[in-house]
């Protein structure tokens, strides 16, 4: 529907006033007539005319122009009939009284116009103040909002308070097509019309809705569409309210723009950090992969070209180097891939009920060769319950921690593993008697590619512990490093126990041998 | 006829790795038939009657799992599966589909040789040997028919379920048995999702048999896949 036509009809409605005002225009002079009647002998007609004048004056101030004219006419009639000689007749004998009546009529018109003007000014001032304070409240809340969602929520709430209308903000996707926000009530918006408003930038009114569609502008263009369901269209469509609505939309658009810019800036920072990380990853990987690769390529090359000139012993040494370095590369590749998978969020935990004992056992078995000459003490609390974990990943954690302990502590000193439980968590500690970790590094050792002695001869990229922490955190647990009493490093792993392990039916008592 | 070298079929799409394996295997007195794709491999398996199949799971044409299912529908050909390390679910699926053993890349050739040997030996035993009577490795001795278990001189008393669990592993000694297979064989098909039964009984069994249950010598865990009874060979 045409907006201008609609507005005009509301304007007309507004200038009308209640029918009771007309009634007062008649009733008030009649009331004065009743009051005056007992005193008709004491007062001269011109005094009585003054009382009527007062009445018209009051009606003019309180009720406006037309009731005051009506009151003037009623007063004139009542005066002529009851007070001006000859009484009980509308005829007026005295010229003076006629002049008085004319003056009364003029006073009524002038006064009511003046009063109307004052009232109008006051009303405007009051409206303006209300609008300013509404706008102020909105902008105050908007400045405190930090996310786009907060801004939308605040905007919608204030629109509702001020205009008594539910509002929805619609934003385009990458292709410029508007979409519903997930939680909005569906029935009030016509998406085709909203899309039209978004494309054209024109305000539209949907008479069947009824809903009003307004474009959200910012300096660069239309960022979305505001759909306003108006229960009371009048509250929205009168010009002052339209102005206020415009101001609201401006505020909301600017707040949104600001939030988006902030987000972009934040994205840029994150991207920069990722970039730095990628660079450190690349330099680390390229160093740690190139070194063994150089050995392999070199050794294989001499075997290929100088085969006859090499002694049996040197051939064996070269082959040994190839095999050893290839193994090192393999371990590294596995770690890098694992970290990449964990980082990419690609890992879905395959949680099953497992015994901690079994996980530690399989980790120790995997490190059989590494730990061949190492004393490893395992201390298990009695009656450990099953834990709901991804056994493959948790085994990886244990392998990395044990491998770490083996690398950084003298071979003749033992590694101690202990497992304890509380009703709500399971803790596993792996402790060695190595040099320990300086306190300022106890957090950093879990950072990717961090090594306390960067150029140490120990192989590894500094990913093992980061992988451990990522896995433990994926399980909702935490992993901490500290120095052990009496020297050495202590890794403590806590896993929350979130649900009780399932129970199993007890086995029937018929034993296979009958005497256990 | 012991003089005839066993024929191995190798299905592997990477030419370098195929070359490496076939050269190594030929140097160890095996005849090797190679195929670069699943379809060629299935053809070769049908027409050439190999004694054992080494199958890479990642093939260009058809899925390795499908190759296993195809073969299992009509033959008992022993299968060793090769897979990347981080794909436990693939391995478990391959074993549940009927593969006999697996190796994760990269692996040493020595390991591959010992797996091949063990598998060929198991196949050779099956037709004539009938039901296995007893099993022994290190201190552990199990008499299957008399249902008795010894660790050294000491007799160990097992519950019926513990014994059933152990005997399934004994019958597959040296080979991994998946969680699913164990649950099905010991408790029945409706229990295949109840892995906690297996954990609890395996724990009990270890406490009775192993000197140090946290560092088992006999009942080995293959994390995410299943259990293997150690035969002391690999």
pLDDT score recorded for residue A162: 82
The reply to whether residue A365 touches residue B221, judged by beta carbons under 8 angstroms, is yes
ipTM, interface predicted TM-score of the complex: 0.84
For residue A24, what are the contacts with CB-CB under 8 A and spacing of at least 6?
Answer: A59, A63, A67, A71
pLDDT at residue A188 is higher than 80: no
CATH 3.40.50.2300 fits B7-128, yes or no: yes
The reply to whether residue B223 touches residue A359, judged by beta carbons under 8 angstroms, is yes
Pick from A443-447, A454-458, B168-172, B206-210: least confident: A454-458
Question: Could you give the CA distance from residue B9 to residue B11 in angstroms, rounded to a whole number?
Answer: 7
**Could you tell me which residues are beta bridge partners of residue A490?**
A431, A482
Cβ atoms of A228 and A163 within 8 Å: the answer is: yes
What is the pLDDT averaged over residues A299-309?
84
Question: Could you give the CA distance from residue A512 to residue A238 in angstroms, rounded to a whole number?
Answer: 93
Query: A13 pLDDT band (50/70/90 cuts)?
Result: very low
**Residues composing chain A:** 516
Pick from A38-42, A460-464, B41-45: least confident: A460-464
Question: Could you give the CA distance from residue B186 to residue A141 in angstroms, rounded to a whole number?
Answer: 66
The bridge status of strand B31-35 relative to strand B7-11 is parallel
Asked if the peptide bond before residue B106 counts as cis, ω within 30 degrees of 0, the response is yes
The reply to whether residue A515 touches residue B157, judged by beta carbons under 8 angstroms, is yes
- B159 vs A contacts (CB less than 8 Å): 507, 511-512, 516
Return the exposure string of A244-279: e unless at least 16 CB atoms fall within 10 Å of the residue's CB, then b.
bbebbbebbbbbbbbbeeeeeeeeeeeeeeeeeeee
CATH code, residues B131-229: 1.10.10.10
User: Does residue B116 sit in helix, strand or coil?
Assistant: helix
Q: How is chain A split into domains, by residue range?
A: 3-128, 146-263, 287-343, 352-496
pLDDT score recorded for residue A233: 65
Looking from the CA of A83 toward its CB, the CA atoms found within 13 Å total 30
pLDDT score recorded for residue A2: 46
Query: A76 pLDDT band (50/70/90 cuts)?
Result: confident
Cβ atoms of A465 and A404 within 8 Å: the answer is: yes
**Range from A435-439, B163-167, B230-234 that averages highest in pLDDT:** B163-167
Cα–Cα distances in Å, from A166 out to A53, A160, A211, A215, A307? 50, 6, 9, 16, 86
pLDDT score recorded for residue A208: 66
pLDDT at residue A514 is higher than 50: no
- B214 vs A contacts (CB less than 8 Å): 357, 360-361, 364, 378, 380, 417
pLDDT score recorded for residue A454: 58
What is the pLDDT averaged over residues A480-502?
88
Q: In CATH, which superfamily holds the domain spanning A146-263?
A: GAF domain (3.30.450.40)
State pLDDT tens for residues A392-415. 889 989 999 999 899 888 989 999
What is the pLDDT averaged over residues A420-425?
85
Q: Between A353, A391, A508, which is nearest B224 by CB?
A: A391
pLDDT score recorded for residue A183: 61
Both tokens assigned to B178: 């998946």
Chain B residues touching chain A at CB-CB below 8 Å = 85-86, 88-89, 106, 147-148, 157-161, 163, 194-197, 199-200, 202-203, 206, 212-216, 220-224
Question: Could you give the CA distance from residue A49 to residue A79 in angstroms, rounded to a whole number?
Answer: 7
Query: A512 pLDDT band (50/70/90 cuts)?
Result: very low
State pLDDT tens for residues A277-287. 667 667 767 77
Query: A456 pLDDT band (50/70/90 cuts)?
Result: low
pLDDT score recorded for residue A59: 86
pLDDT score recorded for residue A314: 87
pLDDT score recorded for residue A504: 81
The alpha-carbon radius of gyration of chain B (Å, integer) is 19
State pLDDT tens for residues B174-197. 899 999 999 999 999 998 888 899
Q: How is chain B split into domains, by residue range?
A: 7-128, 131-229
pLDDT score recorded for residue A515: 40
Both tokens assigned to B53: 């199949």
Question: Could you give the CA distance from residue B200 to residue B218 in angstroms, rounded to a whole number?
Answer: 17
pLDDT at residue B68 is higher than 90: yes
Looking from the CA of A30 toward its CB, the CA atoms found within 13 Å total 6
State pLDDT tens for residues A320-361. 989 888 888 888 888 888 887 777 776 778 888 999 999 999
pLDDT at residue B148 is higher than 50: yes
pLDDT score recorded for residue A25: 84
DSSP annotation of A306 reads S
- A513 vs B contacts (CB less than 8 Å): 147-148, 157-158
What is the pLDDT averaged over residues B123-152?
80
| Site from A322, A336, A361 to mutate, B interface, most B CB atoms within 10 angstroms | A361
Question: Could you give the CA distance from residue A174 to residue A168 in angstroms, rounded to a whole number?
Answer: 19
Question: Could you give the CA distance from residue A196 to residue A446 in angstroms, rounded to a whole number?
Answer: 54
Query: B110 pLDDT band (50/70/90 cuts)?
Result: confident
The model carries a pTM of 0.60
The matching CATH number, chosen from 3.40.50.12780, 1.20.140.10, 3.30.420.40, 3.30.565.10, for A352-496 is 3.30.565.10
Pick from A26-35, A160-169, A488-497, B55-64: least confident: A160-169
> How many A-B residue pairs are in contact by the CB < 8 A criterion?
90
What is the pLDDT averaged over residues B164-172?
92
Query: A511 pLDDT band (50/70/90 cuts)?
Result: very low
Query: A219 pLDDT band (50/70/90 cuts)?
Result: confident
Tally Cβ neighbours within 10 Å of residue A243. Answer: 12
To which residue do tokens 């037309």 refer?
A: A66
Determine if residue A170 is left, alpha or beta; phi over 0 gives left, psi from -120 to 50 gives alpha, anything else beta: beta
pLDDT score recorded for residue A122: 87
Determine if residue A241 is left, alpha or beta; phi over 0 gives left, psi from -120 to 50 gives alpha, anything else beta: alpha
Cα–Cα distances in Å, from A358 out to A378, A473, B210? 12, 21, 12
State pLDDT tens for residues A255-292. 888 888 888 888 887 777 777 766 766 776 777 788 88
Mean pLDDT of chain A: 81
Give burial (CB, 10 Å; 0-12/13-18/19+) of A125. exposed
State what percent of residues in chain B have pLDDT above 70: 94
Please tell me the distance in Å from B157's CA to the nearest CA on chain A. Answer: 5
What is the pLDDT averaged over residues A184-188?
61
pLDDT at residue A481 is higher than 70: yes
pLDDT score recorded for residue B1: 46
Cβ atoms of B119 and B80 within 8 Å: the answer is: yes
pLDDT at residue A191 is higher than 80: no
Helical (H) or strand (E) element with A335: helix A312-343
- B165 vs A contacts (CB less than 8 Å): none
Nearest to B78 by CA among B124, B44, B39: B124
State what percent of residues in chain A have pLDDT above 90: 11
State pLDDT tens for residues A22-46. 888 888 888 888 888 888 888 888 8
- A511 vs B contacts (CB less than 8 Å): 157, 159-160
User: Does residue A181 sit in helix, strand or coil?
Assistant: coil
Cβ atoms of A217 and A240 within 8 Å: the answer is: no
For residue B200, what are the contacts with CB-CB under 8 A and spacing of at least 6?
Answer: A355, A386, A504
Please tell me the distance in Å from A379's CA to the nearest CA on chain B. Answer: 9
Query: A16 pLDDT band (50/70/90 cuts)?
Result: low
* CA dihedral of residues A326, A328, A330, A332 (deg, nearest 10): -150
DSSP annotation of B134 reads E
pLDDT score recorded for residue A42: 85
pLDDT score recorded for residue B142: 92
Residue of B nearest to A515 (CA): B157
User: Does residue B32 sit in helix, strand or coil?
Assistant: strand
Chain A residues touching chain B at CB-CB below 8 Å = 326-327, 330, 334, 337-338, 341, 350, 352-355, 357-362, 364-365, 376, 378, 380, 386, 391-392, 395, 417, 501-502, 504, 507-508, 510-513, 515-516
Query: A516 pLDDT band (50/70/90 cuts)?
Result: very low
Q: Between A357, A364, A392, which is nearest B203 by CB?
A: A357
For residue A204, what are the contacts with CB-CB under 8 A and spacing of at least 6?
Answer: A193, A196, A197, A212, A213
pLDDT score recorded for residue A399: 92
pLDDT score recorded for residue A249: 87
**Range from A70-84, A244-258, B62-76 that averages highest in pLDDT:** B62-76
């Amino acid at each position: 529907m045409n907006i201008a036509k609609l507005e005009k009809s509301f304007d007309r409605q507004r200038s009308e006033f209640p029918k009771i005002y007309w009634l007062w225009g008649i009733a008030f002079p009649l009331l004065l007539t009743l009051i005056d009647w007992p005193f008709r002998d004491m007062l001269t007609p011109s005094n009585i005319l003054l009382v009527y004048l007062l009445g018209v004056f009051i009606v003019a101030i309180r009720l406006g122009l037309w009731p005051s004219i009506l009151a003037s006419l009623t007063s004139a009639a009542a005066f002529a009939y009851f007070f001006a000689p000859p009484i009980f007749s509308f005829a007026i004998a005295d010229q003076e009284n006629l002049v008085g009546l004319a003056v009364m009529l003029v006073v009524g018109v002038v006064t009511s116009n003046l009063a109307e003007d004052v009232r109008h000014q006051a009303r405007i001032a009051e409206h303006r103040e209300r609008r300013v304070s509404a706008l102020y409240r909105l902008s105050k809340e908007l400045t405190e909002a930090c996310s786009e969602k907060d801004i939308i929520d605040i905007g919608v709430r204030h629109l509702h308070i001020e205009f008594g209308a539910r509002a929805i903000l619609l934003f385009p996707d990458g292709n410029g097509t508007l979409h519903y926000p997930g939680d909005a009530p569906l029935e009030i918006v016509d998406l085709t019309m909203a899309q039209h408003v978004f494309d054209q930038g024109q305000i539209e009114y949907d008479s069947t809705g009824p809903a009003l569609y307004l474009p959200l502008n910012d300096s660069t263009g239309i960022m979305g569409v505001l759909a306003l369901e108006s229960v009371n269209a009048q509250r929205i469509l009168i010009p002052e309210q339209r102005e206020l609505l415009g101001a609201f939309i401006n505020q909301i658009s600017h707040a949104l723009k600001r939030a988006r810019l902030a987000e972009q800036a934040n994205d840029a920072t994150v991207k920069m950090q990722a970039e730095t990380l990628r660079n450190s990853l690349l330099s680390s990987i390229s160093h740690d992969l190139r070194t063994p690769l150089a050995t392999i390529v070199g050794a294989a090359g001499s075997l290929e070209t100088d085969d006859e000139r090499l002694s049996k012993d040197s051939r064996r040494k070269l082959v040994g180097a190839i095999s050893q370095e290839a193994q090192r590369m393999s371990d590294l590749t596995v770690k890098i891939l694992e970290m990449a998978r964990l980082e990419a969020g690609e890992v879905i935990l395959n949680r099953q009920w497992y015994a901690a004992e079994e996980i530690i056992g399989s980790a120790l078995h995997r490190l059989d060769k590494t730990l061949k000459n190492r004393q490893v003490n395992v201390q298990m609390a009695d009656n450990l319950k099953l834990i709901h974990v991804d056994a493959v990943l948790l085994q990886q954690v244990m392998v990395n921690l044990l491998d770490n302990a083996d690398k950084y502590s003298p071979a003749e000193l033992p590694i101690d593993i202990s497992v304890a439980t509380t009703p709500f968590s399971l803790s596993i500690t792996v402790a060695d008697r190595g040099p320990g970790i300086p306190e300022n590094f106890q957090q950093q050792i879990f950072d990717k590619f961090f090594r306390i002695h960067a150029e140490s001869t120990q192989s590894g990229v500094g990913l093992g512990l980061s992988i451990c922490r990522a896995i433990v955190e994926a399980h909702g647990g935490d992993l901490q490093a500290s120095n052990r009493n009496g020297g050495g490093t202590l890794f403590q792993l806590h896993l929350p126990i979130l649900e009780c392990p399932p129970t199993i039916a007890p086995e029937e008592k018929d034993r296979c041998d009958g005497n256990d | 006829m012991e003089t005839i070298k066993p024929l191995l079929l190798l299905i592997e799409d990477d030419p370098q790795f195929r070359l490496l394996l076939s050269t190594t295997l030929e140097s160890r007195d095996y005849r090797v038939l190679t195929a670069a794709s699943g379809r060629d491999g299935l053809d070769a398996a049908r027409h050439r009657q190999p004694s054992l199949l080494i199958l890479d799971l990642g093939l260009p044409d058809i899925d390795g799992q499908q190759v296993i299912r195809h073969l299992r529908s009509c033959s008992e050909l022993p299968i060793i599966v090769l897979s990347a390390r981080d794909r436990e679910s693939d391995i478990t699926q391959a074993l549940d589909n009927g593969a006999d053993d697996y190796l994760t890349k990269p692996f040493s050739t020595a390991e591959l040789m010992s797996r091949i040997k063990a598998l060929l030996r198991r196949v050779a035993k099956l037709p004539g040997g009938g039901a296995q009577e007893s099993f022994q490795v290190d201190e552990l001795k199990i008499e299957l028919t008399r249902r008795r278990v010894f660790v050294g001189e000491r007799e160990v008393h097992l519950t019926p379920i513990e014994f059933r669990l152990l005997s399934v592993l004994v019958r597959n000694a040296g080979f991994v048995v998946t969680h699913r297979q164990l649950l099905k064989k010991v408790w029945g098909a409706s229990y295949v999702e109840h892995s906690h039964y297996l954990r609890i009984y395996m724990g009990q069994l270890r406490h009775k048999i192993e000197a140090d249950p946290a560092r088992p010598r006999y009942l080995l865990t293959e994390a995410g896949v299943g259990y293997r009874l150690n035969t002391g060979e690999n």
